[in-house]
Amino acid sequence: MSSALLPASIDDTAAALRAQGYVAQRALATATFLALRLQRPLFLEGEPGTGKTEIAKTLAAMLGRPLIRLQCYEGLDLAGAAYEWNYARQMLEIKLAEGQASREELSRDLFAPRFLIKRALLQAIDPANAVAPVLLIDELDRADEPFEAFLLEVLSDFQITIPELGLVKALTPPIVVITSNRTREIHDAVKRRCLYHWVDFPDAATELEILRLRVPEAPAALARQIVAFIQGLRRLDLYKLPGVAETIEWSRALLELNALVLDPATLHDTLGVLLKYQDDIARVQGSEAARLLEQLRVAEGG
């Protein structure tokens, strides 16, 4: 796909994302626009549930590209991330070739592409791809540090060297999105190859807009109350603050319960949708909830 089909400006980028239901604030729209135009990976770090993973899915839909996802985990290695040889098929081939092929022929044949199992990274740079995909490397902080060293070749040159086969290089670079929840720092060498953006919790106006797009059936007054309440919660010193994902979930839960406004009883019974730690729930169920609801009432002049 040529760059002519990429958004032409920051505004274009924001509008195209929004058309897919994703609200990007100016700084994120800028980073995304530049990542697309400069063919650089986009590195997103930030609060949980703030749309880091979602933007990769949205970009794939928006640009009509396949999404290839690499979910990182402790112990992820080359075999899990890039490729491995199909050992079982190779053994079978040896059995079948017994007495027929010479040793040299056999060892050459055994490392042919048909015995290669392609994992996410290799799939993403496969020169056979009709269009360059979106490659999501999700939660890189969960992988071990040595894995990052291996990523460097992929991120800077969009290529992987397979000792038995040679160099595999993308014809057109994939669009790469890397996310991290910052449970540890990612190495500078990786970050330097990327455009970096910190994804914060959205402000109230942005969150309301996200809610309008994602849960359009929520009445406007309820949506406003939900957002104001959650923005208030995020000012508390809780162990885990609710993300946008929780805002959406909670709105759906409240609709399911036919709630038209936030009242103390409904709030009390649905806090588990927003908060996932008992200490946080206990704290909010106590005086904080009443105080936040009172603030809402005053702010609305009711």
Ligand X SMILES: Nc1ncnc2c1ncn2[C@@H]1O[C@H](COP(=O)(O)OP(=O)(O)OP(=O)(O)O)[C@@H](O)[C@H]1O
Q: Which of 214, 234, 240, 252 binds ligand X (CB under 6 A)?
A: 214
Q: Enumerate the β-bridge partners of residue 161.
A: 167
For ligand X (CB under 6 A), the number of binding residues is: 17
DSSP string, 41-89: -EEEEESTTSSHHHHHHHHHHHHT--EEEEE--TT--HHHHTEEE-HHH
For residues 131 and 141, give the distance between their C-alpha atoms in angstroms, rounded to a whole number: 29
Query: To the nearest whole angstrom, how small is the minimum distance from the Cβ of residue 135 to ligand X?
Result: 15
Q: Does 180 bind Mg ion (CB under 5 A)?
A: no
Q: Which of 50, 53, 180, 251 binds Mg ion (CB under 5 A)?
A: 53
The angle that helices 103-110 and 87-97 make with each other, rounded to 10 degrees, is 160
Nearer to ligand X, 133 or 243 (CB): 243
The angle that helices 289-299 and 220-233 make with each other, rounded to 10 degrees, is 130
Nearer to ligand X, 18 or 118 (CB): 18
Binding mask 11-50 for ligand X (x = CB under 6 A): ----------xxx------------------------xxx
The total of other beta-carbon atoms located within 10 Å of residue 293's CB is 19
For Mg ion (CB under 5 A), the number of binding residues is: 1
Q: Which of 134, 210, 233, 292 binds ligand X (CB under 6 A)?
A: 210
Name the one residue in this structure whose structure tokens are 């190779």.
90
Binding stretches for ligand X (CB under 6 A): 21-23, 48-54, 179, 181, 210, 214, 244-245, 248
Binding stretches for Mg ion (CB under 5 A): 53
